Structure 1
Amino acid sequence: MCCSGFLKIMMFVFNGAIFLAGAAILGVGVWVEVDSGSLLGLLETVEDAPDELSQLANVSYLLMGAGAVLLVIGFLGCCGAVRESRCMLMMFFIIVLIIFLVEVAGAIVLFVFQGLTDQLLMDVEIQVIKEIRVKYGEDEKMTSRWNATMKEFKCCGYKNYTDFDGSPFLDQYKSYPDTCCFQNVTTCTENNAGASNIGGCFQKFMDLIEENTVIIAAVALGIAAVEIAAMVVSLILYTKAGKKD
């Protein structure tokens, strides 16, 4: 009886962690979706984009879906432990196992096909720069999103100021966006933009990820450990519940 009570407490702890992780992921997904200045939001403005690029633009929906599933799993695990329901405990185990296997498979695919990922990034760069040179300064939605992103990340274009060469904005104003030059520059000419050497938004975004790599890896490993522990505890409770029947 004491052992059973301890297992229930551990089940609550593990599922509480899963529930909180789901809430956090759901929150991030909502933030990415409503944040018009997000770099991912710019991908929605790219026409004739590869299928992989279009899917990347919908990453917010993927995050919200994953967060919602984790919330349901956390609730299901707690209910199964309290009621000692074999059906709920087994359902919890199967769902967590599927998610864990998908995570492992995704990690393997990313590792094996790293070269293809690099090629995809090159294709994205070419397509996005093409869009900038055709639409920036003419398409109001696309221009406002780029302005918001460049202001937020303190960056210039996707790669650098040359991304705006030949754009409607440069043709009309004979200057580059203000974010491509230092603040003390009156007019952001080509010489001033080159001297300022403001980095591109993609590199700033990657730098942000690299700065938090340890945190991201720790969270991923923590979630994997909690999933394994929760599966083990749920199986033990499932077995004990079966003996009572």
Structure 2
Amino acid sequence: MSCFTFTKLLTVLLLLLVFLIGLTLLALGIWVTVDGNHFLHLLWPFSKDYLTFINVGLFCIAMGTALVVLGLLGSCGAHKESKFLLLTFFSIIMVVFLTEVASAVMVLIYSSFAKEIFHEWAIPALQNDYGIDPMVTEIWNATMIELKCCGYSNFTDFMGSEFEEQSGNVLPATCCINSDPCSPTEAARLPVQGCFDHIVETLREESNIVGGIAAGVGLLEIAAMSIAMYLFSRQDEKVS
């Protein structure tokens, strides 16, 4: 078996696997969309707080459709040795790859301004909106409870705020460990840190995971484009 034949066969098999995965995701997405209540009931321990906010069905349908199209294009192009299908497959993968690279660059650029952007929003929100605006209050309460932190830098972010004035010099309960009500004196005595460092650390951990997955996907896309171009170029050699 020649190298070309082996590569062609391996490519067809791998892309058929991609096609089957796409069909599975598509079927799952349709099931979730049509019978979402039953799906959430099956995954109740994991879905109560998260899946209700994510349209899992549409996401699976979109991903499944994309994989089905790519699998069909690539496998048919490799099997039939069609230059048009191989070139179309290569072009789609290239567009996806370049979009991912552009997105990664934008994330890197804006992440360098994250501290300034967050600071510009956080301090005024704590001073003027916390305890008054339900959305801001809910966001900060959820963050402080989850990360066990207090304010942006520390409890002093609440000093002189609308919340402190309305509550009678009382701070949020998360600023103190075992003291209710939480006074500024008690908060100063306890080692409860601000939320910014915790948020940065959490984002760093999550970005490492996402970056690893993105790198793996990028390598697979490069491999797919290389194989498509190899099969495409062999067609020119056959013609010549």
Measured against the shorter chain, the TM-score band is 0.5 to 0.7
Per the alignment, in what secondary structure is the counterpart of residue 156 of structure 1? Answer: coil
In the alignment, which residue of structure 1 is the partner of 2:173? 178
Aligned partners of 1:124 and 1:171: how far apart in 2?
Answer: 24
The counterpart of 1:141, out of the listed 104, 119, 135, is 135
Matching of residues 206-217 of structure 1 within 5 Å: 206-212=200-206, 214-217=208-211
- Which piece of structure 1 moves more, 127-136 or 72-81? 72-81
**CA pair 106-187 structure 1, distance change in 2 beyond 3 A:** same
After superposition, give the CA deviation of every residue in 1:107-146 in whole Å (9 maximum; x if it has no partner). Answer: 45666x5xx7544521431232112211111112221222
* 2:146 counterpart letter in structure 1: E
* 1:227 has 2:221 as partner: yes
The counterpart of 2:92, out of the listed 95, 98, 115, is 95
* 1:4 has 2:20 as partner: no
* 1:176 counterpart letter in structure 2: L
The counterpart of 1:204, out of the listed 186, 191, 198, is 198
RMSD: 3.9
* 1:100 counterpart letter in structure 2: F
The counterpart of 1:34, out of the listed 28, 47, 53, is 53
Aligned partners of 2:23 and 2:202: how far apart in 1?
Answer: 26
Aligned partners of 1:12 and 1:127: how far apart in 2?
Answer: 49
* 1:206 counterpart letter in structure 2: V
Q: TM-score, normalised by structure 1?
A: 0.65
**CA pair 32-147 structure 1, distance change in 2 beyond 3 A:** farther
Aligned partners of 2:172 and 2:209: how far apart in 1?
Answer: 34
Unaligned runs of at least 5 residues, structure 1: 24-30, 36-63
Aligned partners of 1:228 and 1:92: how far apart in 2?
Answer: 12
Residue 72 of structure 1 deviates from its aligned partner by 4.2
Unaligned runs of at least 5 residues, structure 2: 29-49
Per the alignment, in what secondary structure is the counterpart of residue 159 of structure 1? Answer: coil
* Misfit runs of 4+, over 6 Å: 14-20, 240-244
Per the alignment, in what secondary structure is the counterpart of residue 75 of structure 1? Answer: helix
In the alignment, which residue of structure 1 is the partner of 2:153? 159
**CA pair 126-2 structure 1, distance change in 2 beyond 3 A:** closer
Aligned partners of 1:2 and 1:102: how far apart in 2?
Answer: 31
The counterpart of 1:129, out of the listed 123, 132, 138, is 123
How many aligned positions are there? 204
Per the alignment, in what secondary structure is the counterpart of residue 92 of structure 1? Answer: helix
The counterpart of 1:189, out of the listed 183, 186, 194, is 183
Residue 205 of structure 1 deviates from its aligned partner by 2.0
Per the alignment, in what secondary structure is the counterpart of residue 166 of structure 1? Answer: coil
Q: TM-score, normalised by structure 2?
A: 0.66
C-alpha contact (below 8 Å) 1:76/1:88 kept by paired residues: no
The counterpart of 1:79, out of the listed 61, 72, 76, is 72
- Which piece of structure 1 moves more, 219-228 or 142-151? 142-151
C-alpha contact (below 8 Å) 2:15/2:74 kept by paired residues: yes
**CA pair 125-215 structure 1, distance change in 2 beyond 3 A:** same
In the alignment, which residue of structure 2 is the partner of 1:47? none
C-alpha contact (below 8 Å) 1:11/1:233 kept by paired residues: no
